[in-house]
Amino acid sequence: MRQAHIVGTGSYLPPRVVTNDDLTRVYGIASDDRWIRTRTGVEQRRFADEGVGTAELGAHAARAALDDAGLDARQIDQIVFCTLSPDKAFPGSGVYLQAMLGIPDDEATFTPCLDVRAQCSGFLYGLHHATAVVRAGMAERVLVVGAEVHSAALDLTTRGRTVASLFGDGAGAVVVGATDDDRGVRDIVLGADGRHADDLSQGVWDMRRRPFVPLDAEGNGRIPPEQLWATMHGQLVFKHAVQRMVDVVNDLCRRNRCAPLDIDLFLFHQANLRIVHAVQNLLELPDDRVLNNIQRYGNTTAATIPLLLDEAVRTGRLTRGMRVATVVFGSGFTWGGALLDW
């Protein structure tokens, strides 16, 4: 039976490191390292330089994944780009990534591009699509990229510290390919609850308004802070994230007739270390089964899972024959999980 498996992983992080102390020293945020670590687990994050967009970060990660898979970019049948911070309102970042990879270098190769907007769950939604089309024989190889540049849209003041201290920039990518071996992506479960869509959102692009950006008397756009910056009902998000992520693991285990301790490695979405620890404790998972990197990178939303995957492969935490589960929760609310035999 034709299966879909990950044949290459890659990641990229912008070189600029921003510590918790830097948020106070450079940006004047009234906070400190202990306050941020206690509430989020984040010790530092990466910020892209001005002029660097999401597609550019994604291109670095994509090239690394292609190299790992031993493939040329023109051998990819489809690009799936997952992000909540696209380079522009439109078009999607996937086409910018395609051009950066040099794919349309003649009149013979015009690789299709799909953008996925499922926020922190985006990579899992993208992996679900890639797995389906590869299994169905509609594609041989699909490039799935999760990339974010949050730093340009964070309220880096004391007013915005609760959200701003969480997020960082980065990108991860995988190549999903076909195999006849009994391995690969075993199962993916996805879910969403739109009743909570505004509980974690950024309302700057609201097409219900006329015009969608308020104008002043001179015709210049003027956006109030409550629309410009992301807003989050933190306690509600925490509660739902923990419950949904636990439910996803139990659902995957039920569907695949296994127990959580039959899974060798868990890659949980790196939203907040307290959320990960709560999920881990409820599932009674030992520390050596859970990989975290939020301490170094912050929450990179759609990039967290492919960043973790690449790190797990590069450090030897994930090796051939192991079973790994990836679990996510994000704005929307959206959530999902995947079970893979590596």
Q: What is the CATH number of the domain that holds 238?
A: 3.40.47.10
* Burial class of residue 37 in the structure, from the number of CB atoms within 10 Å of its CB (0-12 exposed, 13-18 middle, 19+ buried): middle
pLDDT reported for residue 105: 75
Residue 107 predicted with pLDDT over 80 = no
* Catalytic-labelled residue, pool 20, 253, 269, 272: 269
Residue 65 lies in a domain: yes
Active site residue 120: yes
Residue 234 sits in the same domain as residue 174: no
Of 158, 182, 206, the residue that ends a domain is 182
Residue 170 sits in the same domain as residue 94: yes
CB distance 176 to 5 below 8 Å: yes
Q: Where are the beta strands (DSSP E) in the chain?
A: 3-12, 17-19, 44-46, 78-82, 113-116, 141-148, 170-179, 184-192, 200-201, 231-232, 265-268, 323-330, 334-341
Residue 159 lies in a domain: yes
Going by C-alpha positions, the residue among 91, 84, 82, 100 that lies closest to residue 143 is 82
Percent pLDDT > 90 in the chain is 89
Mean pLDDT of the 313-326 span: 97
pLDDT reported for residue 227: 87
Residue 152 sits in the same domain as residue 281: no
Residue 218 lies in a domain: no
Residue 58 lies in a domain: yes
Residue 220 lies in a domain: no
Residue 13 sits in the same domain as residue 141: yes
Residue 206 lies in a domain: no
pLDDT reported for residue 226: 84
Of 122, 157, 182, the residue that ends a domain is 182
* Catalytic-labelled residue, pool 82, 113, 120, 253: 120
Residue 22 lies in a domain: yes
pLDDT reported for residue 248: 98
Domain count, the chain: 2
Active site residue 299: yes
pLDDT reported for residue 109: 83
- Non-local (6+) Cβ contacts of 247 within 8 A are none
pLDDT reported for residue 7: 98
Residue 63 sits in the same domain as residue 84: yes
Residue 155 sits in the same domain as residue 266: no
In the structure encoding, which two tokens stand for residue 55, read together? 């597609």
Active site residue 277: no
Residue 154 sits in the same domain as residue 267: no
pTM beyond 0.75: the answer is yes
pLDDT reported for residue 182: 92
Residue 332 sits in the same domain as residue 287: yes
Of 150, 182, 214, the residue that ends a domain is 182
pLDDT reported for residue 61: 98
Residue 138 sits in the same domain as residue 190: no
In tens, the pLDDT along 180-203 reads 999 999 999 999 999 999 999 998
Residue 205 lies in a domain: no
Residue 49 predicted with pLDDT over 90 = yes
Residue 126 sits in the same domain as residue 192: no
Q: How many CB atoms lie within 10 A of CB 308?
A: 29
Residue 166 sits in the same domain as residue 20: yes
**Domain boundaries, position 104:** 3-182
What confidence tier does 104 reach under pLDDT thresholds 50, 70, 90?
Answer: confident
Mean pLDDT of the 244-267 span: 98
Residue 272 sits in the same domain as residue 151: no
